[in-house]
Amino acid sequence: MADKSVMLTADGLKKLQEKLDYLKGERRKEVAERLKAAIALGDLSENSEYDDAKNEQAFLEGEILELEESIRNARIIEASSDSNTVSLGCQVVLKDIEFDEIDTYMIVGSTEADPDNGKISNESPVGLAIMGQPVGSVVDVVVGDNIIQYQIMEIKQ
């Protein structure tokens, strides 16, 4: 089975690497100390502190493996030379036609998506609807039983 490419901006890759370094260094030490303290409490068969620490350690190691895989399969999003259509890595100014509200989003891969900070995935409903569309286009985004219309006002690379 082929590994799935993980689309990231250069900044997104840097943040994943920093998180991995933190988890493998400082966080691993914290969990090891917690495990050591739980073992010192004695009888492991009825030691909930030990069970909790082992579960935390397993979760941490799983998260480390996921981050390593994401970094290994990372493909850096290159700025497109075509600033006429929406593509990965660009910023898009969208107007909600019904409410006459304007929002700006950066289009990123799903690993890096953070809607609260203006980063939406190319795989999200809005991302899917606007990918490849030119300035001035009106797109329909299906959200549950509703359809939201957005107009692409501007594309910045």
The residue to which tokens 């797109």 are assigned = 139
Phi, psi at 41, each rounded to 5°: -75, -15
For residue 81, tell me if it sits in a domain.
no
Q: Is the pTM value of this prediction over 0.85?
A: no
71 and 95 housed in the same domain? no
Q: Computed from CA positions of residues 78, 83, 88, 89, in that sequence, does the dihedral angle turn out positive or negative?
A: positive
Within the chain, how many helices (H) and strands (E) appear? Answer: 4, 7
34 and 67 housed in the same domain? yes
For residue 83, tell me if it sits in a domain.
no
21 and 46 housed in the same domain? yes
Per-residue confidence of the chain (157 residues) as pLDDT tens digits?
456 888 888 888 999 999 999 999 999 999 999 999 888 877 777 778 888 999 999 999 999 999 999 999 998 887 666 678 998 889 999 999 999 999 999 999 888 899 999 999 999 999 999 999 999 999 999 988 999 999 999 998 7
Instruction: Report the SS3 class of residue 23.
Output: helix
62 and 104 housed in the same domain? no
**Cβ of 87: how many Cβ atoms within 10 Å?**
22
Domain ranges, residue 41: 6-76
CATH number at residue 132: 3.10.50.30
For residue 115, tell me if it sits in a domain.
yes
Q: Tell which of 76, 102, 132 closes a domain.
A: 76
Tokens encoding 65: 């493996």
